[in-house]
Amino acid sequence: MSSSAGTVVVTGGTSGLGRECARSLAADPGLQVVITGRDQARTQSAAASIGARPMVLDLASLASVRTFTQELVGAGFPPLRAVVCNAGLQFTHRAFTEDRVEATFGINHLGHLALVESLVHFLEGPARIVFVSSGTHDPAKRTGMPHPLAASAYQLAYPPTEPAGDSAVKDGRRRYTTSKLANVRTAYALARHLESRGITVNAFDPGLMPGTGLARDAGPMSRAVFATVARGLVVLPGVNTTRRSGANLARLVTDPDLETTTGTYFSGTRATRSSAASYDLEAQEALYRDSLDILATLGGLP
């Protein structure tokens, strides 16, 4: 994507990976970068600090997704060329969205899918969509995170009120890795569905990256460790700063050599293999189909 290419939307752009990705993108004077956040004041402050435009978006609310889409389309921005689905949360207790969907799946997966489906008709090719995933979705990698659940979209969206078997903390971590697997499967499914329209869809693993907001729902001790000791890990091989990972993520939007690359999983700057389960075509299509059905039932599709 060259300069003067148009508008790029980065969800969860108020801190961490999203803000650093937006910062890197905003260095191109030809790009209009829109960052989203749930809090208006915080989003405005973050946008001002990096030369982006702020817009409120709460992925836990399908009504908010609809309002955001209407406001973005009516704002008079240059043509929409890219959507970076970056925002993500991890919970240590059972939580639900405004639409009564389990919050990890609802925000990390369904909210982003609703956003993409709402904006896809306004994307002007060549255009790009990037889903931020995580190496934790792959059981073959020793990440210390629980393996993803083998469950349908309906089971993930509407689980029992209380976790069965796992502790609340482990259940929350497992639902996070499951949502990251859903991000990869969705990227692959959308890559097939949108290829004829000149829209590429890829997935991105930022790697181990201290300094993000994922620990915000953890206990005081865990948050303190993540905010202090863990940040010192960036000197080790394979551990990234948010600035480095943000630039790598921005590259998937701007690198002209990637203009036709689609259905690919990137770890940092490398195209690599995602988990074995992520390549299950039947599972990809079932997740995509059932997720659209859930969104349609909730009034989350245009």
Q: Give the domains, in start order, of the chain with CATH numbers.
A: 6-209+237-297 (3.40.50.720)
What was the pLDDT predicted at 227? 47
What's the confidence (pLDDT) of residue 209? 61
SS3 content of the chain, % helix, strand, coil (to 5): 50, 15, 35
Q: What is the pLDDT of residue 163?
A: 77
Structure tokens at 236: 């080790």
Q: In degrees rounded to 5, what are phi and psi of residue 268? A: 65, -120
User: Is residue 275 helix, strand or coil?
Assistant: coil
Q: 271 pairs with which residues across the strands? A: 266
The whole-angstrom separation of Cα 56 and Cα 71 is 10
* Residues in the chain with pLDDT values less than 50: 2-4, 212-237
Residue 180: the pLDDT is 98
Classify residue 214 by its DSSP letter: G
Count Cβ neighbours within 10 Å for each residue of 216-237 and write b for 16 or more, e otherwise. Answer: ebbeeeeeeebeeebeeebeee
Strands of the 80-85 sheet, one edge to the other: 53-56, 31-37, 6-10, 80-85, 123-132, 199-205, 265-267, 270-272
- Decide if 114 contacts 301 (C-beta within 8 A): yes
- What is each CA distance from 192 to 143, 188, 202, 226, 257, in whole angstroms? 30, 7, 11, 38, 20
Cis peptide before 206 (omega within 30 of 0): no
The whole-angstrom separation of Cα 53 and Cα 46 is 9
Q: Which amino acid is at 140?
A: A
What's the pLDDT at 235?
40
